[in-house]
Each structure stands twice: as C-alpha cells, then as structure tokens.
Amino acid sequence: MQQFCGLIAIVGRPNVGKSTLLNHLIGEKISITSRKPQTTRHRITGILTEDNCQFVFIDTPGLHKHEPRLINRHMNRAASSSLLDVDAIVFVVDAGKWIGDDELVLSKLQNTDVPVYLFINKVDQLETKEALFPTLEAHSKRYAFKEIIPGAALKGINIPELKYELQKVLPQMDFMFPDDYITDRSERFLCAEIIREQLMRALGAEIPYSSSVEIEQFKMLPSGTIEIYALILVERSGQKNIVIGEKGQGLKRIGTEARLNMEKLFGNKILLKLWVKVKEGWADDERALKSLGYTDYDS
C-alpha cells in the first residue's frame, strides 16, 4: 500500500488556540494549554497516523513582537524555524480580532512556497454567523490561502474538514514514525510540561512566566509505579513562597493536578515529588535556557 506522510507547521500569535487544535487533531493531549498567552515555549511534534496517511504536526510558540527577555527571542526563533522544510502550514487566527502579532505571522509567510491554510478559531464565540462574513472577506484579501476554514478547536468544530484538506497535500513517502507514535518528545519532557501547565493555571499573571520545570529523575519501579522528582525554578524568593503557598498547600495542589494528568497520559500510578528553587535570571541565561531545552530548534 502506498504511504503518504508530511510535515505540517501550526503557527499563529500567542493564545489563539494552536495547542488546543493540535490536541484535537491528534486525539490526545500532548501540548499543554491555559488561558495565558505564551503557554507553549517549545516546538511540539504531534503525530497522527490514519490508514496509509501520517500527519506530522509541529505546534509552535506564539510569534510575538515584544521580546523583553532572551527566552522570548528563543521562542520566536523556534517558531520561525518551524516554517522551513514543511509540506503545509496552518495559520491559526482568532475569529474575534486581528492584531499586530497576526501581521507579524503573516509577514513570515510571504516567502513560503507551500500551501497555507487559514484556520479561523473560536467562531463559536461570535454572536451570529453573519458576523463571520466580514472576517472571511478581510482574510481572503490578506493572502492567497489554499483554504480558509472557520472552526473552533476546543469544541472540535471543522477539525475533520481541516484534516481532509491537509490530507490532499501529503506527499507520497514512507512514514517518518511508527504508526503508534503520537509524539517524538520524551516522557521527561511531557512530565515537565504537565507540571508547567498547572503552574500556568494555578498562579497569577507574573509567576508562570518566571518559572520553569526540570525533571531530575524519572524512574520505573518494579511495581510499575513511575517515580518522578521535579524541580520548579523561579527567579525570586517571594515567587518561591507563592508557589509553595500557605503550609505548602499551593505546591500540593499543583502536584496533585499534575500527577492525575500524568497518570491519565501514561496509564501508570505516579509518585511525584516537587521542589522549588530560586535561580535568578534563568530566563536571560543562555546556558540555563539550553539546559532546559529552549534552544532545541538549533538541532
């Protein structure tokens, strides 16, 4: 049987629903989500194999103009580099608004010679269907998109339609991954992301952007339980106190939610131990960022 396989980049500004779209395309949660922008910091590969077709999706950090720190510059470079050597691009925008960061993404697409599909997300939040018509007209004038697909990633609206259109441009070639793979990321990476997701969801506006997670130990015990030691890095002692919370309750809640998500993902009992450590300026430290995997687009 002939096989078809291709690389598809999912791009867009922060907080438009790229990771939610990836998760619904794959049918598994492999990319973390929250209501806060810039939740995704790394390129995440999601793999979907159906019959003789394999889609290799690349979820990217949101492209943004404001780069106050070194980590922001790394995120933008990771997203931009993902546009190279792909077979198709899905540009995700918010049905409700078009802003400067959307223009930035659009500018990155000007020199590409692969088909670009526009996925207009969150159409379910529009007051009427008629409200979509001016948006469709405006987007059709911005770029020669292969297709414009209105939908809603969170509710799965028009996800099959997007997949159907992408299947048409998959090149004929052997699968890149075994057909049971859903990502090429390691278990350690997925665990760190799950913990960081809970930090994003549980804490205020500032602290999640000043924190990162490092898995120090990932060990399968003879009983089948997975033992995980994880270190949460923050930049100031005050942030450490907030993460831990009164009598350790904040850290306990984060750990409990992360553990339950890990058990759902791996199908094993998880023993999770969390620590919090202050490391000043890690988000502007090239060596620290490299050790935390924020320069993996160079590979």
pTM: 0.76
pLDDT at 283: 67
Measured between alpha carbons, how far is 42 from 78 in angstroms, rounded to an integer? 7
pLDDT at 297: 45
CATH number of 4-167: 3.40.50.300
pLDDT at 35: 59
CB 265 within 8 A of CB 257: no
Measured between alpha carbons, how far is 217 from 282 in angstroms, rounded to an integer? 21
Burial 86-122 (b: 16+ CB within 10 A, else e): bbbbbbbbbbeebeebbebbbebbeeeebbbbbbbbb
pLDDT at 222: 95
pLDDT at 177: 94
Digitized pLDDT (tens) for each residue of the chain, 299 residues in all: 899 999 999 999 888 898 899 999 999 888 766 555 455 556 788 999 999 999 999 887 655 455 555 556 655 565 556 567 889 999 999 998 899 989 989 998 988 899 999 999 999 999 888 889 999 999 999 999 999 999 999 999 999 999 999 999 999 999 999 999 999 888 998 899 899 889 888 876 656 567 789 999 999 999 999 999 999 998 888 889 999 999 999 999 999 999 999 999 899 999 999 999 998 876 676 676 666 666 544 33
The closest of 53, 61, 19 to 153, measured between CA atoms, is 19
The closest of 107, 98, 118, 53 to 79, measured between CA atoms, is 107
Domain with CATH 3.40.50.300 in the chain: 4-167
The closest of 155, 148, 147, 149 to 124, measured between CA atoms, is 155
**Tell me: the pLDDT tens digits for 230-287?**
999 988 888 899 999 999 999 999 999 999 999 998 999 999 999 999 988 766 766 7
Domain with CATH 3.30.300.20 in the chain: 187-298
pLDDT at 33: 66
What SS3 state is found at 52?
A: coil
CATH of the structural domain 187-298, one choice from 1.10.1740.10, 3.40.50.300, 3.30.300.20, 3.40.605.10 = 3.30.300.20
pLDDT at 121: 97
Which residues are CB-neighbours of 82 under 8 A, at least 6 positions away? 9, 11, 43, 58, 60, 297
CB 84 within 8 A of CB 34: no
Q: Which pair of structure tokens corresponds to residue 201? A: 């969801």
Specify the DSSP element, H or E, that contains 4.
strand 4-11
